């Protein structure tokens, strides 16, 4: 059983009335991976997570967590996952300690081990100073930590986190990120986010979802290459202010030239040849080239290219 | 089984932490107590709890839904129900745990009124058999109203809607035999059988009949089953 994938999703489809939230998505996650779900609002990230955590059923397709079907063996699946929903629902009127104790009980941790489990997650998530406070008194950052603590208290094989860093300040984001990395040392972690830096900082792998479909799946480098492949070209910086677009466009294999001040993006069909000819052209025209490099999209460009530029990279994703 | 207890314990702790529960219990005791004692001394003839058992059920139709209104509705609104459902707990355990917590609060509330029969007992000879039967009847009736309240709470995210629906159902069931006018034959029997007050009066008279007990228990089971199904419907 050691090498079976943690999560196998096949052809998952979910409709909310007329709206198709998920359109036949399939993916696999191996044990120990940290996977980032990236996508614009309403892309289907939360829906996927709700199905994986047995809260909702899909219209068609199957999902297996640690080899167990979410529908057939729901209870076994629920035993092996930890889940932090979006907006972090907590029982406001309970003490942090009492809440964690309740979760430990319901999660089926044996009586004698509950104290230890609580102590362990409190330390891991840095909750020491608020253990005896009411949950409604807590700041957003601490609430988020309590949410994380309840998700890992029973040492689940798979941890599913829905936007664990949304609404936090930059310091808190870094702290939560550290906790996620820490959890990810032993567990399979899936988390959704629309903060781009986060996925490249934390994840082994990124799955980009858009309009209920998986549009890309791989490491950040792979995704970036994939985008670079479709929009291959050169980035040329020159010294003079004169518009060179027309001249660059006359070169063979150049499909388009985009100008931004002294920087040009030369889109090409094949890159290696163009580079030499472009240098030759520049020399012939007497223009000094400041720099010349192959275009490599950054995170934001990758994200925009993959999601068709429609991604809003802020606010909450509210489905249903 | 253990899960039911964990959920029961959490709800009890939350009851004794909340202003709502205290207000409900206090008001119930105040109103029923006042009505019972005020009339008691003006027309004192026999030492009996009948006055209390005549009035309390009507107020229970309002106060029991007030106890249960938030049990599921608030958890739906805050999203904690969603989280709870991703834990290894069945819907039955959730519903039954909450139901037992509400019944416990009712029992505490009724326990506070035990002062009345104890006082009466000092004044003379109280019929303890009938009194205890009355309390058993109150518990069965209150339990049924709690089950109705939990069912109503499962329908909505809004506590106000929840209490109004539950109040309507409890009140309707309490009065159904009187609202029906003067039907005869099978219809009369059907209305009578559906009425919670008819069965309660039977028990309060001191006769605990299996038929009356079965009526209340089946009402409880049906309502809790509906609540469970409503919650579970998210899963398919």
Tally of residues, chain A: 320
ipTM value for the complex? 0.88
Q: Is the pLDDT of residue A314 over 80?
A: no
pLDDT of residue A318: 37
Q: Where are the alpha helices (DSSP H) in A205-253?
A: 220-230, 245-249
Name the CA dihedral angle for A94, B228, B24, B170, rounded to a multiple of 10 degrees: 170
Number of C-beta neighbours around residue A251 at 10 A = 16
In this structure, what token pair is assigned to residue A180?
């996620």
Q: What is the mean pLDDT of chain A?
A: 83
Of A224, A229, A228, A236, the C-alpha closest to A262 is: A236
Q: What is the pLDDT of residues A16-69, one digit of tens each?
A: 888 888 888 999 999 888 999 888 888 888 899 999 998 888 889 999 998 889
In the three-class reduction of DSSP (H, G, I as helix; E, B as strand; rest coil), residue A276 is classed as: helix
- Which tops the pLDDT comparison, A294 or A182? A182
Q: Measure in Å the smallest separation between the Cα of B87 and chain A Cα atoms.
A: 5
- Is residue A207 within 8 A of residue A52, CB to CB? The reply is no
**pLDDT for res A272:** 59
**Identity of the highest mean pLDDT range in A1-5, A124-128, A312-316, B161-165:** B161-165
Q: Which domain holds residue B119?
A: 2-235
Point out the residue among A57, A102, A108 whose CB comes nearest to the CB of B88: A108
pLDDT score recorded for residue A133 = 94
Distance (Å, whole) CA A306 – CA A21 = 18
Q: By C-alpha distance, which of A102, A27, A22, A101 is closest to A58?
A: A22
B6–A107 C-beta distance less than 8 A: no
From CA A230, how far away is CA A109, in angstroms rounded?
Answer: 51
Q: Residue A38 is inside which H or E element, if any?
A: strand A34-38
Tell me chain A's radius of gyration from C-alpha atoms: 24
* Contact call for B6 and A102, based on CB within 8 A: yes
Q: Under a CB-based contact definition with an 8 Å cutoff, are residues B97 and A105 in contact?
A: no
Helix (H) or strand (E) holding A60: strand A60-65
Q: Which of B18, B82, B89 sits opposite A89 (nearest CB)?
A: B82
**Residue A84 near residue A160 (C-beta atoms within 8 A):** yes
Count CB atoms within 10 A of the CB of residue B172: 15
Q: Rounded to a whole number, what is the distance in Å from the CA of B16 to chain A's nearest CA?
A: 11
Residue of B12, B225, B202 lying closest to B100 (CA atoms) = B12
Q: Can you identify the CATH homologous superfamily of domain A7-225?
A: P-loop containing nucleotide triphosphate hydrolases (3.40.50.300)
CB contact under 8 A, B86 and A54: yes
Per the CB < 8 Å rule, is A85 touching B235? no
A54 touches chain B (CB under 8 A): yes
The pLDDT assigned to B26 comes to: 92
Q: How much is the mean pLDDT over chain B?
A: 89
Residue A243 has a CB neighbour count (10 Å cut-off) of: 11
User: What is the structure's pLDDT at A215?
Assistant: 84
Both structure tokens of A225: 């290459």
Q: How confident is the model at residue B148 (pLDDT cuts 50, 70, 90)?
A: very high
Cα A120 to Cα A127, A134, B107, B209: the distances in Å are 10, 20, 39, 55
Residue A16 backbone phi and psi in degrees, to 5: -105, 95
| Record: contact B86-A107, CB cut-off 8 A | no
Any idea how long chain B is?
A: 236
Q: How far apart are CA B190 and CA A313, in angstroms?
A: 62
| Residue B25 confidence (pLDDT) above 80 | yes
Inter-chain CB proximity B79 and A103 less than 8 Å: no
Percent of chain B's residues with pLDDT above 70:
96
Spatial CA neighbour of A219 closest among A230, A201, A202, A206: A206
Give pLDDT, residue A1. 47
Our count of domains for chain B comes to 1
Residue B202 pLDDT exceeds 70: yes
Measured between beta carbons, the chain B residues lying within 8 angstroms of A81 are 86
pLDDT digits (tens, 9 = 90+) for A65-119: 988 898 888 889 999 999 999 889 999 999 999 999 999 999 989 988 999 999 9
Q: In degrees rounded to 5, what are phi and psi of residue A297? A: -65, 145
**What pLDDT, in 10s, does the model give residues A202-244?**
888 888 888 888 888 888 778 777 776 666 777 888 887 777 7
Which residues from chain A sit within 8 angstroms of residue B14, using beta carbons? 91, 93-94
Q: Considering only CA atoms, which of A59, A84, A64 is closest in space to residue A76?
A: A64
Closest CA to A63 of A24, A36, A31: A24
β-pairing, A19-29 with A68-69? Answer: unpaired
If you average pLDDT over residues B26-32, what whole number do you get? 91
């Amino acid at each position: 059983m050691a090498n079976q994938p943690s999560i196998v999703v096949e052809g998952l489809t979910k409709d909310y009335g007329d709206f198709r939230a998920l359109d036949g998505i399939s993916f696999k996650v191996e044990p120990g991976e940290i996977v980032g779900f990236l996508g614009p609002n309403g892309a289907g990230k939360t829906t996927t997570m709700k199905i994986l955590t047995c809260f909702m059923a899909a219209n068609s397709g199957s999902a297996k967590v640690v080899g167990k079907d979410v529908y057939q063996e729901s209870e076994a699946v629920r035993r092996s996952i930890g889940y932090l929903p979006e907006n972090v629902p907590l029982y406001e009127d309970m003490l942090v300690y009492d809440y964690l104790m309740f979760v430990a009980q319901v999660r089926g941790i044996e009586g004698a081990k509950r104290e230890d489990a609580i102590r362990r997650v409190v330390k891991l998530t840095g909750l020491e100073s608020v253990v005896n406070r009411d949950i409604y008194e807590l700041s957003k950052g601490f609430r988020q930590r309590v949410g994380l603590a309840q998700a890992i208290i029973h040492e689940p094989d798979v941890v599913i986190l829905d936007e664990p860093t949304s609404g936090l300040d930059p310091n808190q984001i870094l702290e939560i990120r550290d906790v996620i990395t820490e959890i990810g040392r032993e567990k399979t972690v899936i988390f959704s986010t629309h903060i781009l830096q986060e996925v490249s900082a934390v994840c082994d792998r990124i799955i980009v979802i858009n309009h209920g479909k998986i549009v890309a799946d791989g490491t950040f480098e792979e995704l970036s290459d994939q985008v670079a492949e479709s929009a291959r070209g050169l980035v040329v910086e020159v010294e003079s202010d004169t518009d060179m677009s027309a001249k660059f466009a006359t070169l063979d294999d150049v499909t388009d030239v985009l100008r931004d001040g002294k920087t040009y993006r030369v889109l090409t069909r094949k890159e290696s040849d163009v580079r030499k000819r472009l240098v030759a052209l520049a020399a012939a025209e007497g223009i000094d080239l400041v720099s010349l490099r192959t275009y490599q999209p950054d995170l934001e460009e990758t994200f925009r290219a993959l999601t068709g530029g429609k991604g809003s990279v802020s606010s909450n994703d509210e489905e249903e | 089984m253990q899960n039911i207890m964990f959920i029961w314990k959490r709800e009890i702790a939350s009851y004794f932490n909340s202003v709502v529960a205290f207000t409900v219990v206090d008001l119930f005791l105040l109103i029923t107590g006042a009505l019972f004692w005020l009339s008691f001394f003006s027309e004192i003839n026999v030492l009996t709890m009948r006055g209390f058992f005549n009035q309390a059920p009507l107020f229970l139709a309002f106060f029991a839904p007030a106890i249960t209104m938030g049990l599921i509705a608030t958890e739906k609104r805050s999203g904690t129900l969603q989280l709870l459902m991703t834990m290894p707990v069945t819907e039955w355990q959730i519903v039954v745990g909450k139901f037992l917590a509400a019944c416990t609060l009712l029992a505490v509330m009724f326990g506070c009124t035990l002062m009345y029969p104890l006082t009466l007992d000092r004044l003379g000879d109280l019929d303890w058999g009938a009194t205890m039967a009355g309390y058993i009847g109150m518990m069965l009736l209150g339990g049924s109203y709690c089950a109705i309240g939990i069912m109503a709470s499962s329908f909505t995210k809004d506590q106000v809607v929840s209490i109004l629906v539950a109040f309507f159902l409890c009140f309707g069931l309490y009065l159904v035999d009187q609202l029906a006018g003067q039907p005869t034959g099978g219809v009369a029997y059907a209305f009578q059988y559906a009425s919670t007050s008819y069965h309660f009066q039977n028990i309060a008279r001191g006769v605990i009949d299996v038929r009356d007990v079965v009526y209340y228990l089946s009402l409880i089971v049906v309502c809790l089953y509906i609540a469970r199904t409503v919650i579970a419907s998210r899963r398919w």
